[in-house]
Amino acid sequence: MKLRELLHAIPVQQLEGLLEVDVLSVCFDSRKVSADSLFVAVRGVHTDGHLYLDKAVENGAKVLVLDTLPVQLREEITYVVVADTSYVLGLLASNFYGDPSKGLKLVGITGTNGKTTIATLLFNLFKSLGYHVGLLSTVENKIGDRVIPATHTTPDPIALNMLLREMVDEGCDYCFMEVSSHAVVQQRIAGLRFAGGVFSNITHDHLDFHGTFDHYIKAKKKFFDDLDRFAFALTNVDDRNGTVMLQNTFAHKKTYGLKTMADFKAKVVESHLDGMLLQVDGHEVWVKLVGGFNAYNLLAVYGAAILLEQETMKVLTAMSDIAGAEGRFDVVRSTNGTVGIVDYAHTPDAVENVLSTIRELRKGGQQIITVLGCGGDRDKTKRPEMAEVAVRLSDKVIITSDNPRTEDPMAIIRDMEAGVDSKDRKHVFTIAERKEAIRAACHLAQAGDIVLIAGKGHEKYQEVHGVRHHFDDKEILIETFNEQ
């Protein structure tokens, strides 16, 4: 592609060099630059791409996109000066891959909890309705039946547009993607055309990155602010910040809720460990998911499907048969009747939702034993809050490791223990090794008790000192149940 074509609709401030240059790839990592690449110097959280201009040129870059010209210019290089390289990276990636988001209906889902479940349910629903569909999620990316491993909740702009291009080329009608607050702030979705946006909820999370809860809310809100008038904006009106998301959007505004008047309404009629009966807009439907939080997730899915012009009865019929995302209230049963639940809950609100649901569903005499850890190098303020919630809603709690990353596991555990009242300490155990903590919880459980393993959900690794080791909560749970 010629540079002239690639710069279509790009807000260029200054150009030094030739426009009729062939560009064979777009990169923002100098290590991935090859012959005839365009390199975008992005100022990131950990490093600044402007420090690697020489390296990019050595590796074959012919065009450099930056926000400040270097003192000495090379005659053979074209320099493109822009105000915001992060934003322009998204536009360039979209241009390079032929505006793929316009070739299908792209729906973004944002919020603290529920993003993965809503995106996965929408993917499964539309697939069952006969469409060819794409998925971009924390757990996995999919194009039809083809699975592509996920490394981030929202990929970088180049990977994102490349995946969308593949989806369009393979005939996808829709793509459902999680949109993280990090992705919004870091401009990873710049240049994308969304057919709709869905807001699940917002609670305490990611303050290590955003600094304040207000900044976190504004990051989520910006996604809706940027939607155009041809899109829909669907929000959870029961969340106290739900309507905030709609304040400045040009999109078609719609709401869903269980408690408040809304465009899409539902209520839980019956709830069991293997599913629940919902009444959705006056129609009853049995679903395989459990809990009030999943009632919200399913209602969001229903609302989005109707806004995407699907038939009500076909949607409800399909909803009755679809499964949720891996590692989200994932139930495993032992031969003696003990119930194990693996869940990705890693915020205070998510832990409270899961444990409240378990308490509502348990029968008399069933103990709840919770295994809980917190990730290292992440928001420290939520650690004591998560422990407090777990202790308050469980009969016994084992505090353990999650992904310590570069932190000392015991330091993380001490942060969590600060949230445990002295009168409750006799019901709380500390086992730093996560595998042993899971095994201990299973051995503490009597026939019929419920063991919740919270925090990692679908993850198949544990990260310690920058190294990822194979680790699967569900695998360990099943192994331990089989030994009993």
Residue 116 marked in a binding site: yes
Residue 111 marked in a binding site: yes
Residue 310 marked in a binding site: no
Q: Using CA atoms, how far apart are residues 90 and 354, in angstroms rounded to an integer?
A: 37
Residue 333 marked in a binding site: no
Residue 460 marked in a binding site: no
Tokens of 41: 């110097």
How would DSSP label each residue in 72-114?
S--TT-EEEEES-HHHHHHHHHHHHTT-GGGSSEEEEEESSSS
Q: Give the angle 473-480-441 at the CA atoms, nearest 5°.
A: 75
Tokens of 68: 């400040």
Residue 434 marked in a binding site: no
Residue 402 marked in a binding site: yes
Tokens of 58: 């050595």
Residue 212 marked in a binding site: no
Furthest-apart CA atoms within the chain: distance in Å: 79
Residue 338 marked in a binding site: no
Residue 270 marked in a binding site: no
SS3 state at 291 = coil
Residue 362 marked in a binding site: no
Q: Checking DSSP bridges between strand 330-333 and strand 339-343, what pairing results, if any?
A: antiparallel
Residue 153 marked in a binding site: yes
Residue 459 marked in a binding site: yes
Structural contact between residues 143 and 166, judged by C-beta atoms closer than 8 angstroms: yes
Residue 115 marked in a binding site: yes
Q: By CB neighbour count within 10 A (0-12 exposed, 13-18 middle, 19+ buried), where does 460 fall?
A: middle
Ramachandran area for residue 398 (φ above 0: left; ψ -120 to 50: alpha; else beta): beta
Residue 394 marked in a binding site: no
Angle between helices 312-319 and 292-307 (to 10 degrees): 150
Q: Using CA atoms, how far apart are residues 292 and 305, in angstroms rounded to an integer?
A: 20
How would DSSP label each residue in 123-177?
HHHHHHTT--EEEE-SSEEEETTEEEE-SSSS--HHHHHHHHHHHHHTT-SEEEE
Q: Using CA atoms, how far apart are residues 40 and 66, in angstroms rounded to an integer?
A: 6
| Residues in the chain, overall count | 484
Residue 392 marked in a binding site: no
Tokens of 62: 């012919």
Residue 403 marked in a binding site: yes
Q: What is the DSSP letter of 47?
A: -
Residue 114 marked in a binding site: yes
Structural contact between residues 327 and 342, judged by C-beta atoms closer than 8 angstroms: yes
Task: Using alpha carbons, select from 68, 78, 60 the residue that is nearest to residue 7.
Answer: 78
Query: Binding site for meso-2,6-diaminopimelate: what residues are annotated?
Result: 378, 402-405, 455, 459
Query: Binding site: what residues are annotated?
Result: 30, 111-117, 153-154, 180, 186, 188, 378, 402-405, 455, 459
Query: Binding site for ATP: what residues are annotated?
Result: 111-117
